[in-house]
Amino acid sequence: MTVNRALIAVAALVCALHASSAFAQAPSCTISTLSVSFGNYNVFSGSALNSTGRVTYRCNAAAANITVSLSKGLSSTYSPRLMSKGAEVLAYNLFTDAARTTIWGDGTSGTAIYSRANPPNNSNVNVTIYAEVPAGQDVSAGSFGDTISATVNF
């Protein structure tokens, strides 16, 4: 039996603006996401189900240091995050690295954030979100989902 799973990411933009004079350009950034979609999860498979998504940001020259954090979603902790279908849940997580060892969160509870000093001026920067649903979870067929907020600070 295979089960459909979907993770929907929603981007939230948090801005901190400052200017040293009336003529200084205020820092500004935009953010968008490409959702993580796991496709079909086979409850009988002995292998984790991996996928990717993407956060894209674009900042002007005044934004010198960028961080991107991801929320917990439905879960009260970062490990594991949970997708739901009604009262039923399916554990998963989001990572900063392809090896899926560093949980992407807000920098607390053992999580990491994405950071970059001096990003390219007025250019899109794509950052991959690595995702995984661990094997061996006994859930019923259907669509599971979660909403994650991505926040860029500059």
> Which pLDDT tens digit goes with each residue over 105-144?
999 999 999 999 989 999 999 999 999 999 999 999 999 9
> How far is CA 82 from its chain centroid?
13
- Report how far residue 71's alpha carbon sits from residue 26's, in angstroms, rounded to the nearest whole number: 26
| Helix, strand, coil % in the chain, rounded to nearest 5 | 0, 50, 50
| Tens-digit pLDDT profile for residues 35-70 | 999 999 999 999 999 999 999 999 988 778 899 999
- Report how far residue 6's alpha carbon sits from residue 25's, in angstroms, rounded to the nearest whole number: 40
Could you tell me if 25 and 60 are in contact, meaning their C-beta atoms sit under 8 angstroms apart?
yes
* Strands of the 65-70 sheet, one edge to the other: 8-13, 147-153, 65-70, 114-117
pTM above 0.85, yes or no: no
Going by C-alpha positions, the residue among 41, 57, 37 that lies closest to residue 1 is 41
Structural fold of domain 28-153: Immunoglobulin-like (2.60.40)
